[in-house]
Amino acid sequence: MLLISVLFMWNVTELSSVFRMFKKKHTLFDDRFTKTMCMAITMISSFVLALYIQLLLPANQTGLYLLPIVVGLFIGWKFGTIIKAPAILNGIYNGTMGGIMGMMLGAVLQNPALCNIPIESEAMIVSNMYSLAIFAACLHALISQFIRYSFRV
Amino acid sequence: MAKITILLILYVDVCIALGFYSYLRRVKKIIGFQLGMNISIVMGGMTALLSGILLIQNYPFHFTLITVITTLLGLTTGALFGLLFDYQTFVSGLTNGVIVGLMSPMIGTVIEMPSLFIWFVHAFFVLCLITIFVSIKRS
């Protein structure tokens, strides 16, 4: 669990740095560029953060079980309000979709019998979870690197 | 027998994607950025979906490895189709390939009638290709 918390902090730091850069430079770009970049960063970051939250929350609780979707919706809303009306719909749609998908992947990784995946032993489940979480964090780093590179040129 | 059929279908899909890529390289001068973005999103997503379903049907005991392979495949396909046009189509094709590639092995494990579902997804793929061809001819 400590490893997943460290990955969570890393991705939140990266996401906030991208958001601050976006906020500072958004008058330089046209609407199409802003819409595309909002779509890309909203989709991948809400997916990855919802996956981590679903893995970090204890199983079988009822109070917080919609939290990953709410986090995805919040990310989409924040990125959508950078420019006006059509982008906020785009952001909310992509953020909620990413949140639902990340929650589903997290639930399957915690309990592989949901999907008929033939993994039985406890150690296999844990190593499976850690390897996919590290892979998702690397993908998030790659995509935010591409987006930060696109602000420079 | 069924495994050989699945491998043959996978080979035919790879050939279709490569042929479509070389066709697009020749006609990319007449395609605008709007159609280019849609082409890169559709091709990255469909490649990730087809390869995820076919590979998990063929090797059902390697879930993690197949997820990694499918995601990298969708990422490279979306990026290659997007690099034909400009930087924004590159980023959107790459992201869509990643998301669909992370999801598709899960779909492959839960389906109940595999052959029917595989033919349905291929009919969908051919329909997407026909739509793209018609749009290229009209532009």
Block mean pLDDT (10 aa), chain B, length 139: 82 91 88 87 91 88 88 91 88 91 88 87 92 88
The complex scores an ipTM of 0.86
A17 found inside a domain: no
**Cα–Cα distance measured from residue B35 to residue B32, given in angstroms and rounded to the nearest whole number:** 6
Q: How many beta-carbon pairs under 8 angstroms link A with B?
A: 66
pLDDT recorded at residue A8: 87
A18 found inside a domain: no
Residue B103: list chain A partners with CB under 8 A: 101, 104-105
Interface mutation target, options B49, B99, B100, B104, chain A, most CBs of A under 10 Å: B99
> Quick check: A37 contacting B, CB < 8 Å?
yes
Q: Do B91 and A117 touch (CB under 8 A)?
A: no
pLDDT recorded at residue A68: 85
- CA B126, B127, B128, B129 torsion: positive or negative? positive
Mean pLDDT of A31-42: 84
Domain count, chain A: 1
Q: Do A44 and B92 touch (CB under 8 A)?
A: no
A21 found inside a domain: no
Domain count, chain B: 1
pLDDT recorded at residue A88: 83
pLDDT recorded at residue B29: 85
In 3D space, the residue among A124, A97, A109 whose CA is nearest the CA of residue A39 turns out to be A97
* Residue-wise pLDDT tens digits, A60-74: 777 778 888 888 888
Query: Percentage of chain A surpassing pLDDT 90?
Result: 8
Q: Do A37 and B91 touch (CB under 8 A)?
A: yes
How close is the nearest chain B Cα to the Cα of A58, in Å? 23
Question: Domain of A128?
Answer: 2-11+28-152
Quick count: other Cβ atoms within 10 Å of Cβ B64?
Answer: 18
* Residue-wise pLDDT tens digits, A81-140: 877 667 788 888 889 999 998 888 888 888 877 777 777 777 888 888 888 889 999 999
Q: Do B99 and A98 touch (CB under 8 A)?
A: yes
A102 found inside a domain: yes
pLDDT recorded at residue A153: 65
With 90 as the cut, is the pLDDT of residue A148 above it?
Answer: no
A22 found inside a domain: no
Question: Domain of B105?
Answer: 2-138
